[in-house]
Structure 1
């Protein structure tokens, strides 16, 4: 499959992908990535672990997905990995403040007050998300697991969310992959599809995250290639 995909790129005269997301074989304790070795003609290829798959590995440590705290746990797990782009958020806050002052006469609002008036769909439309960095994610994940592995991780029936022994084993195995999920520097993951200028506001971009090239037949290990298009998970 790898040889065939590389040949298709050669015949099409298309530059090789810069980035590939996989569900396994992103790295190795005994050398480089097995996936990168399969695509040996693409010497600049960066291999990353798909973040959804890493999150599902941690989800395997819960006692049941029907637990009352499963949803909050998964949302906080995502927050340990991703953050909003600070520049995009600042621009959205400025535009929102300008619109509130111009349309509704709401002046003198603090940044926190303006932020509370921005909905999740609004921030997702105008702001990019990025990974926090391996070191920051490790600290946040440790705190999250400790919190939900305590009395705070027990529901109203006294049932714990996490299987204590299992989640510790998962952490010991998966912590090495925190470097494998980070956004690679210099690779554009977002495609800007347009701009809107609210009345009395600043110009804001609207972004669309486009899936790149997917191999046409089932393969051992899901792979997603980034070429001229951009890929991003629906976070």
Structure 2
């Protein structure tokens, strides 16, 4: 039996089709897929409403915009704080740090490494971005150059609000690009191994349901030493199948 894949695609086009089926969904048919607006492109579109990316306040705006769109999982943050608190106590003779001292020890890299992040809700995101735009609407640098191009930003925000619903994460956690590639490669490998087992008739094939080649090879190596035969059928052409998928 062939396994079915549930895909979540993040794209910058054709993701909020009001009528009919989007071309991206058709592309992955018959797999069940959910098409969402890509977070990177969603945030980058706001640049079109700014006067220049070289403005002194550009970096601050981008940082605040990101915090309007994403939130850290509070349970993960709390566990990280507990670990940092114990670390502080060990290096400060058992003294308990204040909340301010504790947060000062948590750097952005540690947050990204140990804590999950997801999109905020539609209305919360709408409210926070609106407040951010209001706060920077008339800000200028020392030469009087405005950060925001008013007419452009009005148009951008009007269009972006229509995508807030489509931009939301599904009820599962996001993963970064590396993890997504690993997940897809593992799915392809399992698909190909299943296909190979169906295509090749192996007498007395093992009922072992493992898709990890390394323990399978190790098991066969031990079996060869003890019994003089393989316990698990191996398919040398799996690599070719994977490359052609």
- Do both proteins adopt the same fold according to a TM-score greater than 0.5, normalized to the shorter chain? yes
Could you tell me whether the CA contact under 8 Å between 1:19 and 1:48 is conserved in 2?
yes
Which residue of structure 2 lines up, in the alignment, with residue 179 of structure 1? 165
Summarize deviations over 1:40-83 as a string: whole Å, max 9, x none.
312x3111111110111111111111111111111111111111
Query: CA RMSD, aligned part only?
Result: 2.5
Matched, 1:211 2:176: no
Separation of aligned partners in 1, 2:9 and 2:161: 20
Separation of aligned partners in 1, 2:11 and 2:77: 30
TM-aligned CA distance change 1:227 to 1:50, over 3 Å: farther
Separation of aligned partners in 2, 1:22 and 1:51: 9
| Residue 35 of structure 1, CA deviation | 2.2
User: In proportion to residue count, which structure has more helix?
Assistant: 2
- Aligned to 1:212, what secondary structure does the other structure show? helix
Separation of aligned partners in 2, 1:226 and 1:46: 15
Q: Which runs of 5+ in 2 are unaligned?
A: 188-245
| Residue 31 of structure 1, CA deviation | 4.9
Summarize deviations over 1:156-183 as a string: whole Å, max 9, x none.
1110011101100111111111122221
Separation of aligned partners in 2, 1:228 and 1:85: 27
Which residue of structure 1 lines up, in the alignment, with residue 151 of structure 2? 165
- Aligned to 1:45, what secondary structure does the other structure show? strand
TM-aligned CA distance change 1:167 to 1:58, over 3 Å: same
| Residue 184 of structure 1, CA deviation | 0.8
Which residue of structure 1 lines up, in the alignment, with residue 47 of structure 2? 59
Which residue of structure 2 lines up, in the alignment, with residue 78 of structure 1? 66
Separation of aligned partners in 2, 1:141 and 1:31: 31
Matched, 1:94 2:82: yes
Q: 1:19 aligns with which of 3, 8, 22?
A: 8
Matched, 1:138 2:131: no
TM-aligned CA distance change 1:119 to 1:165, over 3 Å: same
Structure with the larger RCO, 1 or 2 (CA within 8 Å, 6+ apart) = 1
Q: Which runs of 5+ in 1 are unaligned?
A: 1-9, 192-207, 214-224, 230-235
Which structure 1 residue ranges, 4+ long, deviate > 6 Å from structure 2? none
Separation of aligned partners in 1, 2:148 and 2:18: 27
Separation of aligned partners in 2, 1:163 and 1:106: 53
| Residue 211 of structure 1, CA deviation | 3.5
The structure whose Rg is larger is 2
Could you tell me whether the CA contact under 8 Å between 1:80 and 1:141 is conserved in 2?
yes
TM-score of the two chains, using structure 2 as the length reference? 0.69
Could you tell me whether the CA contact under 8 Å between 2:118 and 2:174 is conserved in 1?
no
TM-score of the two chains, using structure 1 as the length reference? 0.71
User: In proportion to residue count, which structure has more strand?
Assistant: 1
Could you tell me whether the CA contact under 8 Å between 1:26 and 1:33 is conserved in 2?
yes
